[in-house]
A and B are shown apart, each in its own frame.
Chain A
């Protein structure tokens, strides 16, 4: 579960990114977070993965309280949260399979676990036959599916996708959203940060809208509807 209570985030340069934001996402939910540039979406992601600390307020992610979290606890928080970025962030000189191995080894997984888990997630994202390809040999949609597979490797309870379709055409974007919906159906909490109105409106999901560091709308089904 994700819970942000009266969160204020002020950066050292004086920018107020969040101004008393309160938000709760239950386990197993699928949530779109939308809002204009500078509304605080990126800061929310940074808070959720422990990249920055809140100036005020409480942030709890999957049982980890991020106010004054110890640095050595952050890796363990991140293992419960899979993150997907717009630019995929794959290692170009490694094959799809080796990218997966790299991510699993990074959390100390053993060879047996790796052999068992990687085929499962590649099958889940529909890339089981492209495991020996380099990222440059894949389309944008396929690369994003590799990134999703990597995010799923450590069996996280939450997936956070930061503009996951920003580099994709509408058809591929829809494909990725359907994949995230399927992952959500398996029980994983999914938070998608996007500004693609049309895409959001094709799904009947909860939509949280931010503006100037606050939640201005939180409801189901339509981008732009006022908070209930």
Chain B
């Protein structure tokens, strides 16, 4: 493409967009709405996923140390336990600490206040990388000398529940986003088709004088690109405002403030990138789809 053609296409695209102001406004409005629906749903999914991850991390395995080992020997097992596959980290809990933890759970039970530390065992709280591998990790931990079979408490049913929730949420999220994307392209294609219909005479003249399909298509591609760009920028700021508003509402509410909301600042680059990519995809894809029919002359 020559330099003067590039500027010509860009100028024509911009001119067409402003010249057909109402249709452009409608196309931008529809795209922004689609981006907001898609963006909001995605952000809800991101937050749900973050909460699941938090819950996963709290899902620890407890490995009880052989009661014949001294505290020093028990502490020495840390390296062996950390060397096991899928172990993120281990925390040693001595008999005394275990007893204090137990007692703190039942502060009003007098019976539990005079316990001896010896009735508890040294133990390790073990965080896993992937709770999906909990069973095999449990088996490996039991093989560590000083732990032994039957001495690892793993909540396998709960772990399986988390995995199911995460998988279902992932599939639902992908399916809904795909459907919304297709609906957006369809709506934009139809909106741009109306502007194209308005200019069918111009296209017919271009065809008549010998313009190639590529030449006719380019200004529409630029127009779609610009519509997508404007929609993405507007959509991004609206999404940001909406997200901050929801975050403030959650923080202000005593009942639901315990929900941890991922700060928008942690995600804005991804949100901006996705909005720009999807906006332009919808704009350019919609333009190409709309113009196709009018090129068959």
Contact = CB atoms under 8 A, between A and B. Distances in A.
A89 B204 contact: yes
B202 interface: yes
A172 B168 CA distance: 76
Interface residues of A, number: 24
Interface string B179-217: 000000000000000000000011011111111110110
5 contacts: A76-B210, A77-B210, A79-B209, A108-B5, A153-B209
Interface residues of B, number: 19
Contacts of B297: 51
Given A51-B297, A89-B201, A91-B201, A107 B209 contact: yes
Contacts of B210: 75-79, 106-107, 154
Interface of A is mostly: mixed
A106 B209 contact: yes
B205 A75 contact: no
A72 interface: yes
B105 interface: no
Nearest to A91: B202
A78 B4 contact: no
A71 B208 CA distance: 14
Contacts of A72: 212-213
Given A106-B215, A108-B215, A78 B205 contact: no
A145 to B, nearest CB: 17
B40 to A, nearest CB: 40
B202 to A, nearest CB: 6
Contacts of B213: 71-72, 75
Given A72-B212, A75-B213, A106-B206, 6 more contacts: A49-B208, A76-B210, A79-B210, A91-B202, A108-B5, A150-B209
Nearest to B202: A91
Given A51-B297, A78-B210, A79-B210, A103 B205 contact: yes
